[in-house]
Amino acid sequence: MNTKLVESLLQVILSLSDDERSLLEEKLFFDLSEPLTSDLMLLAQTGGTFNFLENEPDIYSLDDGEPI
């Protein structure tokens, strides 16, 4: 085991700002096997899959239903 390396890494991690630590945690612990929600949203917006909804009539209005 390389104890000196571990201690050095710990010192570097402890010296990071909160933003830098968050970024490090994201890089270390985030499972990249699944796409990000933001990537899926962008794909849905730009992919054209839901373009047919632009031609659908507006059958509901703000006056429909009961107020929440």
Give pLDDT tens digits for 42-68. 999 899 888 898 898 888 888 888 877
Share of the chain above pLDDT 70, in %: 97
**Per-residue pLDDT at 8:** 95
**Per-residue pLDDT at 20:** 95
Residue in the block written with tokens 């703000």: 62
pTM > 0.85: no
**Per-residue pLDDT at 21:** 94
State how far the alpha carbon of 45 is from the alpha carbons of 10, 34, 57, 64, in Å: 42, 19, 20, 27
Q: Please, what is the average pLDDT of the chain? A: 88
DSSP 1: -
The three-state secondary structure class of 61 is coil
**Per-residue pLDDT at 9:** 94
| 21 contacts 10 by C-beta, under 8 angstroms | no
